[in-house]
Amino acid sequence: MKRAILFIFSTVLITASCSKESEKSNNFSSRLKSSERLFTDAQIAEIGEKHNEIAFEVYESVDFEDYSASLQSNLMDVDLGEGYNEHKSDIYNAAYDVDYTNLDQYANQNVVAYYEMAFSSLENQPDLESIIEKFDELEAQARDELTGTDLDQVLIMLSVGRNSAYFWLPASKGGNGLGYSKLAYLTSKNVDPNSSNKKSTKEISRGVREAIGKDMIGGLGSAVGWGIGVLAFGGPVGVGAYVFTVAWGAATSSLL
């Protein structure tokens, strides 16, 4: 696990240094735009699968009484090795700077449009089967309309979204209930104890949608922002680091 985390931070560190130059154009995606896909369908599927592995580990270890501080302090405690430890704060900040308000700096508008369609489909508390069916439709549409890295980004976002939905949805809607139980706990800490159970359930359902949405943004944003790192790594090690890095970014985005 420590080796994998080292890969993560190595990738982000390379990205952080490269991004100083890319800030001149204010567009990370312009550096990665390619008519050729960078990753296979199998690698993208692995990103989604690892999302849930990492999400489970992160959410089991984070203290939800003070989760933001706990997450950063846990990462700051990781020994990244010589040449990296002094950059811990910069690496942490670089890893979590993507949200919906600046997503267009990381992805083309036609890619962002797919995020918006996917997120909209999460309204009205759909079950896992309905979400997967809609995401499959969006994937088929994307394969017809997009090419190269634009298609990679959308496929990564949907791969993360499918797995994220399974993690966050309650068992009654086809999920594994793990993320839902965390949201239920957080809601119980923040909702007026005198409010109705119906309101509490509504708050949790909204939290599920927001969590899945943040995970998808994490996957979509890091797919672009950290792609520079994998290009610098090259080879199987780079691909493995990238897969884990995007999955980590997606899994932890809903914490922030």
The answer to the question of residue 139 being in a domain is yes
Tally of residues, the chain: 256
The answer to the question of residue 121 being in a domain is yes
The answer to the question of residue 50 being in a domain is no
The answer to the question of residue 70 being in a domain is no
Residue-range definition of the domain harbouring residue 145 = 2-33+101-253
Poorest-confidence range of 102-106, 197-201, 250-254? 197-201
pLDDT given for residue 186 in this prediction: 63
Q: Which residue has the higher pLDDT, 118 or 224?
A: 118
* Confidence category of residue 53, pLDDT binned at 50, 70, 90: confident
Q: Looking up tokens 């990238």, which residue turns up?
A: 242
Helices (H) and strands (E) counted in the chain, each on its own, are 12, 0
102 pLDDT higher than 50 = yes
The answer to the question of residue 46 being in a domain is no
Poorest-confidence range of 3-7, 95-99, 157-161? 3-7
Mean pLDDT, residues 22-43 taken together: 60
The answer to the question of residue 51 being in a domain is no
pLDDT given for residue 214 in this prediction: 80
Encoding tokens for residue 84? Answer: 């990296």
The CA radius of gyration of the chain, in Å to the nearest whole number, is 18
Q: Sort 30 into a burial class: Cβ within 10 Å, 0-12 / 13-18 / 19+.
A: exposed
Mean pLDDT, residues 54-83 taken together: 59
- Ranges of H-type helices in 98-176: 109-120, 128-145, 148-168
161 pLDDT higher than 70 = yes
CB 197 within 8 A of CB 216: no
As a whole number, the mean pLDDT across the chain is 67
Q: Looking up tokens 């890969």, which residue turns up?
A: 7
Query: What's the number of domains the chain is made of?
Result: 1
Widest CA span in the chain: 57
The answer to the question of residue 69 being in a domain is no
Poorest-confidence range of 19-28, 66-75, 151-160? 19-28
Q: Which residue has the higher pLDDT, 74 or 2?
A: 74
Question: Is this prediction's pTM over 0.85?
Answer: no
The answer to the question of residue 138 being in a domain is yes
